[in-house]
Amino acid sequence: MFPVGYDHRSIESKWQRRWGEIGLYKARDFAGKPKNYVLIEFPYPSGERLHVGHGRSYCALDALARMRRMQGFNVLFPFGWDAFGLPAENYAIKTGVHPAVTTEENIANAKKQAKSWGLSFDWSREINTTDSDYYRWTQWIFLRLFKEGLAYKAEIPVNWCSSCKINLANEEVVAGACERCGAPVRRRMREQWMLKITAYADRLLDDLELVDYRDDIKQQQINWIGRSEGTIIKFEVLNPGSGANSERLEIRNSKLEIPVFTTRADTLFGVTFLVLAPEHPLVKKITVKGQKKRVEAYVAASLKKSELQRQEERRKKTGVFTGAYVWHPATGEKLPVWVSDFVLPSYGTGAVMAVPAHDQRDFEFAKQFRLSIKEVVKNESGSKFPKEAFTGEGTLVDSGQFSHLQSRQAAAKITAWLKKRGCGEAAVDYKLRDWVFSRQHYWGEPIPLVFCKNCASKIGGGNKDSGTGNLSKGERLNPGWVPVPEKDLPVKLPHLEKYKPTGTGESPLAAAGDWVSVECPRCGGPARRETDTMPNWAGSSWYFLRYADPHNRKQFASSRKLKYWLPVDWYNGGMEHTTLHLLYSRFWHKFLYDLRLVPGPEPYSKRTSHGVILGPDGQKMSKSKGNVINPDDVVAEFGADTFRVYEMFMGPFEQMTAWDPKGVIGVHRFLERVWNVSGVICKQSVVSSDKSLERKLHRLIKKVEEDVLSLKFNTAIAAMMEFLKEVMSSDYRVARADWEVFLRVLAPFAPHLCEELFYQLNPKPYVRNHKFSIHQQPWPKYDPRMIEEELVTIVVQVNGKLRGKLEAARDKEEEKVVELAEKLPAVRIQLSGAKITKTIFLSNKLVNFVTR
Ligand code: ANZ
Ligand code: ZN
């Protein structure tokens, strides 16, 4: 009866079909069991298909999901496609086929792959972010953000690749160059939609305490948010060319001020000039006539540089004088205002008070342009001033009433003093920037807003009678921008044949005249749709919510279902997504939480990341190096179970590991051996297992369970391999029932093989019940008493004469047993004064001391 060889081909397709037919992995809403939501990052369906890196995350979390089901949890383990965005668009551009077509094809192919791996996804909940039934809710959430005043248009620099002729997202700029073509990236100013994620900065930081993320992942979130405490100080601008006191008064009334952000208010008396970022809006306003040309040329040149280039510490400082001056708020001195690209527009206020004696960049700048340097902080040790800036803290000098104070205390006092005079206050600044939420690409969710000139003029004119009272915060913040009514969602992405980037920097949608012209939903007048689309981060910012209720047409998900399934119990994904994606989705979730639309403040209870898989040569896998392992080949040759087990066995889950083809063969042999051993056990009739094997089995159950929950899939598998060896070397002294326990432990890892072998051993329940499966059997319980170490009695002799006995754990190391033996009272007496010449040790049996 028993088939001769392990034929993965027939087994795997057979069981996959059956599991699909009986809906084995369907998650049931409100089932009366504890829920467990296991989530993996959903993939981009690119032309490259799924690779072994996807396999690592999917197979491991699949084993977890399967074990959790056997442990009695109602598991939600869903899957879907993050199908908008650049990868899909790039692929379409490369192949010349419309992204809608290639996306569908790519999904079909990747789905076939994922299915061939035997993953236990609940396919009935599959989602696709490009499906208008899905993105209607992405648009809906955006509109809620807009209405709450968390979306605004701003003129900001965008990264322009002059070779690809497109605007690049920051993450597509690598070391100042375009990620795809390598050409240098220029910065251009453009109006973009922004989302005010900074309004949530503190909560995104503080609530990290509520979650169990791996330490380095938490740290990345903290660094990215980059909270820093300091002072904003306002410097008043003098009228250009002025100097006389009478004119100073005049300007007092004009109130042109330059706010700066500093973490070192204690150095206020050392400020000798101010520096603005080239992008600073005040540059144009304050530059005097005579300096205009020079300043404009400098600003144009710096826009060509990337942020990274600008921050390079060792670069020679460049800059230009605006001709304008500010007053020092404490000393009343006139300070020149310069422009330099080492000041970034996106940090602090985009302007700095330069303290060359105590800031190295300011120091270099002052040297370069012969500006004055004034020392105001001293410290006996550590100062190399005037060779370089002294950046440490110390005692204040030449600082008026604040002299002799220590830095920290001085900073607080100076801040309070400034506040009293209305020219400064304590401030917190974040590295985190608001989220640039528009892209000039075709393949994305349309932003559901229209622009109406008529409405703009009503709001802009400040006419109180025009009924601005019923406007949302968003409309008041963005005059003329009118949301598409919720009942008209989704705003479907029109089918365009010209989907390639236009070369002008505008979205291809701008050319779709019919689609762009609409009636204003507010006043009925002529209006234009927003033609920018959402970034590829949008759809993934809330997809885990949709899985709770993927077919809902009235809401993004029902609150009862959200309450049942959320938060995600365990989320795994790539290390490259542990900053932005995690922050963005946590931000959206918190926003929805504030609207009482989701049950808790955090979306994911636990977050882990898998290590990258390298090619067999230890290099990053890439087509050009020819070291790419195609999972389809592995599955075809060795089967999905081998692929799965190898993906988990190859090394510690969280570490970078090289693919080893020999390792794959080793895993395949292991599974073959499982097959063969099962054949032997099927034929024999051992009623009760060898005691020591039975103990080992119990230990195995415990170990696998613990290892899976702590991401040690590799050691769990090693323990199963070890157990199998023991079975073979102990002459198969395993009862059928115990062997079935072993199969149940292995089932989450090699689901097809174990299902088949379980069936071979127990065909009846399968025949009787079409829905019967090993994957529905309970996870075996280990007996704690069986885990305890087994004790053996060891005889202790001195010169061959029995002097005592001791109990020790089986297989205890020689060294330890001998130590115990020496301590037995009778033995001690015999050994006192004698010299041991030899110690004979028989494992688990005897110790014999030979003396002279
Ligand atoms: C005066 C000063 C004196 C500063 C001194 C430092 C030392 P962190 O700690 O990273 O938050 N700064 C502020 N805005 C900037 C911008 N847009 N581009 C470049 N530099 C900027 O950094 C805060 C410090 O970075 C601020 O404190 C400011 O320089 C500079 F002895 O102000 B400091
Ligand atoms: Zn209107």
DSSP 144-181: HHHHTT-EEEEEEEEEEETTTTEEEPGGGEETTEETTT
Q: What share of the chain is helix, strand, coil (3-state, %, to 5)?
A: 45, 20, 40
Query: What is the b/e burial string over 679-705, where b = at least 16 CB atoms within 10 angstroms of the residue's CB?
Result: bebeeeebeebbeebbbbbbbbbbbbb
Task: Report pLDDT for 243.
Answer: 40
Mean local confidence (pLDDT), 423-442: 92
343 ligand 1 Cβ < 6 A: yes
Task: Establish whether residue 656 lines the binding site of ligand 1, counting it when its CB lies within 6 angstroms of any ligand atom.
Answer: no
What is residue 20's predicted lDDT score, i.e. its pLDDT? 94
C-alpha to C-alpha distance for 780 and 526, rounded to whole angstroms: 69
| Cβ–ligand 1 contact at 352 (below 6 Å) | yes
**Which ligand has the nearest atom to the CA of 526?**
2
Quick one: pLDDT at residue 380?
A: 82
* Least confident piece of the model among 259-263, 489-493, 501-505, 778-782: 501-505
Cα–Cα distance, 55 to 333 (Å, whole number): 66
Q: Which of 224, 352, 379, 399 has the most ligand 1 atoms within 8 A of CB, as the residue to mutate?
A: 352
The rounded Å distance from CA 278 to ligand 2 centre is 36
pLDDT of 203 over the 60 cut:
yes
Q: What is the pLDDT of residues 568-602, one digit of tens each?
A: 999 999 998 888 999 999 999 999 999 999 999 99
* Per-residue model confidence (pLDDT) at position 3: 54
pLDDT of res. 252: 47
- Rounded mean pLDDT, 802-815: 89
**Which residue has 């950046």 as its token pair?**
391
End-to-end C-alpha distance for the chain, whole angstroms: 66
* Ranges of H-type helices in 710-783: 713-729, 736-746, 751-761, 763-768
| Residue among 262, 283, 338 to mutate when testing ligand 1 (max atoms within 8 A of CB) | 262
Distance CA 547, CA 797 (A): 69
Q: Which ligand is nearest to the CA of 475?
A: 2
Task: Give per-residue pLDDT as tens, 794-803.
Answer: 999 999 999 9
- Average pLDDT of 629-658? 97
**Tokens 């059928």 sit at which residue?**
736
% of the chain residues with pLDDT over 70: 96
What would the DSSP string read from start to end of 342-390? Answer: TS-TTSTTSEEEE-TTT-HHHHHHHHHHT------EE-TTT--TTTS--
pLDDT at residue 531 is higher than 60: yes
Provide the pLDDT for residue 852: 80
Mutation test residue for ligand 1: of 223, 264, 433, the one with most atoms within 8 Å of CB: 264
Q: How confident is the model at residue 1 (pLDDT cuts 50, 70, 90)?
A: very low
Q: How far is the CA of 736 from the centre of ligand 1 (A)?
A: 72
Average pLDDT value for the chain: 92
Band of pLDDT at residue 315, cut at 50, 70 and 90: confident
- 344 CB near ligand 1 (under 6 Å): yes
How many Å apart are CA 316 and CA 304, to the nearest integer?
17
Residue bearing tokens 């179970």: 641
Q: What's the CA gap between 661 and 436, in Å, rounded?
A: 44
User: Contact 94/180 with Cβ under 8 angstroms?
Assistant: no
Nearest bound ligand to CA 277?
1
Kindly report the protein residue whose alpha carbon is nearest to atom 29 of ligand 1: 262
Q: Within 10 A of 14 (CB to CB), how many other CB atoms are there? A: 14
C-alpha distances in angstroms, 126 versus 360, 544, 549, 555? 55, 11, 11, 17
Spatial contact of 689 and 645, defined as CB atoms under 8 Å apart: no
Beta-bridge partners for 519: 526
Name which of 542, 534, 553, 540 is nearest 591 in CA terms.
542
Task: Look at 99-103, 110-114, 171-175, 675-679 and tell me which has the smallest mean pLDDT.
Answer: 171-175
Ligand 1 atom closest to 377 (CA) = 31
Which of 269, 359, 376, 428 has the most ligand 1 atoms within 8 A of CB, as the residue to mutate? 359
pLDDT score recorded for residue 283: 96
* Rounded distance between C-alpha atoms, residue 820 and residue 434, angstroms: 67
Nearest by Cα to 223 from 716, 702, 473, 580: 580
- Whether 263 is in the pocket of ligand 1, judged by its Cβ within 6 Å, is yes
Q: 143-157, 595-609, 798-812: which range is least confident on average?
A: 798-812
Residue 468: its pLDDT value, please? 55
Is 464 a residue whose pLDDT tops 60? no
Whole-number pLDDT of residue 460: 62
Structure confidence at residue 4 (pLDDT): 64
More confident residue, 182 or 353: 353
Q: Is the CB of 359 under 6 A from ligand 1?
A: yes
Given a contact cutoff of 8 angstroms between Cβ atoms, the answer to whether 816 and 847 are in contact is no
Sign of the CA dihedral running 683, 685, 690, 693: positive
Spacing, Cα 148 to ligand 2 middle (Å): 20
pLDDT over 60 (residue 390):
yes
Task: Average the pLDDT over 79-107 and give the result.
Answer: 88
How does residue 473 score in pLDDT terms, banded at 50, 70 and 90? very high
Smallest-distance ligand from the CA of 453 = 2
Ligand nearest to the CA of 449: 2
Instruction: Compute the distance between CA of residue 191 and CA of residue 178 in angstroms, rounded to an integer.
Output: 21
Q: Which atom of ligand 1 is nearest to the CA of 228?
A: 11
Per-residue model confidence (pLDDT) at position 461: 54
pLDDT for 159 equals 85
- What pLDDT, on a 0 to 100 scale, did the predictor assign at position 467? 52
Q: How far is CA 316 from CA 353, 361, 369, 667, in A?
A: 19, 10, 11, 57
Confidence of residue 244 (pLDDT cuts 50, 70, 90): very low
Give me the percent of the chain exceeding a pLDDT of 90. Answer: 77
